[in-house]
Amino acid sequence: MMRRILWMMRTRNREFFRDRSSLGWNLAFPLLIVAGFALIFSGRASQLIQVGIVGGPEAARPAFAELLAAKHTSFVVVDSAERGLDRVRHHRLDLLLDPGASPPRYWISESSPKGYFAEKLLLSGGGAAGSAAGLSREAVSGRDIPYVEWVFPGVLGMNLMFSALWGVGWVVVRYRKNGVLKRLRATPVSAFEFLSAQILSRILLLVGVAAFVYGTIWLIYRFECRGSLALLGFTFALGAVSMIAIGLLVASRTQSEEFANGILNFVSMPMMFLSEVWFSLESAPGWVRAAAGQLPLTHLVKASRAIMNDGAGLAQVQGHLFALALTGAFLLALASAIFKWERD
Amino acid sequence: MSCVQPLLEIRDLRKIYPAPRGKAGVVRAVDGVSFSVRSGECFGLLGPNGAGKSTTLEIAEGILSATSGEVLYKGAARGPGFREEVGVQFQNTELPLYLSVRETLEFFSNLFTRRMPLAELIALCRLDDILERDNRKISGGQKQRLLLAMALVNDPDLVFLDEPTTGLDPQARRHLWDIVQRVRARGKTVILTTHYMEEAQILCDRLVIMDHGKIIAEGTPRELLDKHCAGASVVLPGATGAAALSGLPWKAFDTGEGVEVLTEDVSATVRALLERGFDLSRMSVRSRNLEDLFLLLTGKDLRA
């Protein structure tokens, strides 16, 4: 049994590496995306001081009218202080103000140079003079996470999703359509062996590609992974299992490549936009956040972001890892149970 | 009837599909087919497209399930070892992409416990010249030889070949026949489907003729010809109007390419044709073959 699985893995890997266009795309796509975003967002942070205001600027009038009139400063609506804190911690907000609290509170990151100026701006405001002494100051520790560093785990996760869904789902449908599955069925290969080989081969390829992309991005931008690389690798492997499981479920009975393509798009598009690959859903309605929280890509992106950006350990991300493992196991069991070699 | 146990026995096999959308009833792709195949022989299923040959074969291979009926291998239901002992060549199979001929053989060979040494297999199927060539860059004849080799990687006792020479030019077809005969010489049992009567005559020890999912004749090629096809076939290329011969004791057909009369008395037939005003300038007379037998049994051309 093991020999058959190994030979099917070997054959699938050969196919992957010899299909130059597909290999090139798998490697180049995430690099291009990250490089593009690094270019687009490289200048933004230096232009403005970003102040988050709980309840929005209107809630800060009239007490903080002068602050609101300051030049070169942008004001961001924040739903609650808790949800703004992470952004202060990662320097994506220079200062967070809660004018509705009693006394009004503000948070800055001590290590942020722009936070220093934002605080000066807040405290020197004439309108706030009377209340400045009454402001409650809270320091947040953290360090600057450039957007490129924030977006990178998301791009890696997204690439893994596309590669798993199409590299397994679409490929198995193609095998079924062109008779390769039928040919394998005429050998002692069982459905379990065939599916195992597809899964193992894809996990190896996905983790390998992710490592290559990670290494290349690291060489260019020199950012660090604050958590354990082994944990990050494990997280990606679990993410790969759950994405491959979705791909296999789609492929378990589908006969047409076009239909498979449609279904894979239907599955991947919501994940791409709702799993915080590109932007945070902090200000999205509660039900959207709740729905997004169930998506495997959300778990993968949140866990890998926590490990890379915040140095999270196993204890902090175990919920995400458990969700990924559970999704993968359940969908794989379902896909194996309903898998058909071909239409009878 | 031999008392030796057949290697493969098919009993009252049926495969019934629902009718296509918009049509009533069901489609009886295979309708009560029974036959047995002895060890070491080459057994043929002959018939036109849609006769149910491939469906019968795929049920016997265990690829399709039957609606009813039995398939016995070595006297018992097919067990887990069946796939190790048989080789299958399908009619239309894409080869794995991005692999060379050698890699394809290595891959399929390693899916089996029992294996024919690769060098032996390569020599048997004459693949030496194209071993390192990409699967996508081989000709139709080479592809059929590779597919046949893939069916032989496990040195099977029983080989299923589904229309192994369809679409090949005459030379490539003869090469493949030669390989099949060498496979037989190794003591293998072969079951093949074909719609080439010449192929059936050359390769098969026994055969069944199928039409509309049923067996309409069975025997050795010689027996079938002697029983059904004593006499000759008079062919008038380009002629029409077989109906004008309906009063005569011989069967006459419009084949699409001309008129064909299956007769036991050539002289009387020629006189009758002249009397009815047929132009005999391009007439030919030949002894009958399996194709004529098929025409006689079903009233239609084997390749129609």
Mean pLDDT along residues B254-270: 85
3 state SS of B142: helix
Question: Looking at the complex, does the CB of residue A187 fall below 8 Å from at least one CB of chain B?
Answer: yes
Asked whether A179 and B91 are in contact (CB, 8 A), the reply is no
pLDDT at residue number A187: 92
Question: Looking at the complex, does the CB of residue A179 fall below 8 Å from at least one CB of chain B?
Answer: yes
Angle in degrees, 0-180, between the axes of helices A191-221 and A2-18, rounded to the nearest 10 = 40
Each residue's pLDDT tens digit, B152-161 = 999 999 999 9
Mean pLDDT value across chain A:
82
pLDDT at residue number A133: 57
Q: What is the DSSP-derived secondary structure letter of residue B20?
A: P
Q: Whole-prediction pTM value?
A: 0.75
> Which of A279-283, B191-195, B199-203, B266-270 has the least mean pLDDT?
A279-283
| Residue A125 pLDDT exceeds 70 | no
Residue of B nearest to A13 (CA): B98
CB contact under 8 Å between A179 and B93, yes or no, is yes
Q: Give the model's confidence band at B33: pLDDT under 50 very low, under 70 low, under 90 confident, else very high.
A: very high
Report which of residues A142 and B147 the model is more confident about: B147
Each residue's pLDDT tens digit, B160-216 = 999 988 888 888 889 889 999 999 999 999 999 988 888 888 899 999 999 889 998
3 state SS of A295: coil
Determine the straight-line distance between the first and last CA of chain B, rounded to whole angstroms.
Answer: 34
Chain B residues contacting A via beta carbons under 8 Å: 61, 63-65, 83-84, 88, 90, 92-94, 96-99, 103, 107-108, 110-113, 150
CA B62 centroid distance within chain: 19
Residue of A nearest to B150 (CA): A183
Phi, psi of B71 (to 5 degrees): -125, 120
Q: Give the model's confidence band at A159: pLDDT under 50 very low, under 70 low, under 90 confident, else very high.
A: confident
Each residue's pLDDT tens digit, B47-106 = 888 889 999 999 999 988 899 999 999 989 998 889 999 999 988 778 888 899 999 999
Asked whether A205 and A16 are in contact (CB, 8 A), the reply is yes
Mean pLDDT along residues A184-202: 89
Of A211, A56, A11, residue with least CA distance to B99: A11
Each residue's pLDDT tens digit, A292-342 = 888 889 999 989 988 988 888 888 888 999 999 999 999 988 988 888 887
In B215-257, which residue ranges form alpha helices assigned H by DSSP? 221-228
Q: What percent of chain B has pLDDT over 90?
A: 41
Count of A-B CB contacts under 8 Å: 58
Supply the ipTM of this predicted assembly.
0.80
| Residue A231 pLDDT exceeds 80 | yes
**Of the partner residues B107, B113, B150, the one whose CB lies closest to the CB of residue A11:** B107
Question: Looking at the complex, does the CB of residue A344 fall below 8 Å from at least one CB of chain B?
Answer: yes
pLDDT at residue number B101: 94
Write out chain A residues lying below 8 Å of B156, CB-based: none
Question: Looking at the complex, does the CB of residue A186 fall below 8 Å from at least one CB of chain B?
Answer: yes
Question: Looking at the complex, does the CB of residue A4 fall below 8 Å from at least one CB of chain B?
Answer: yes
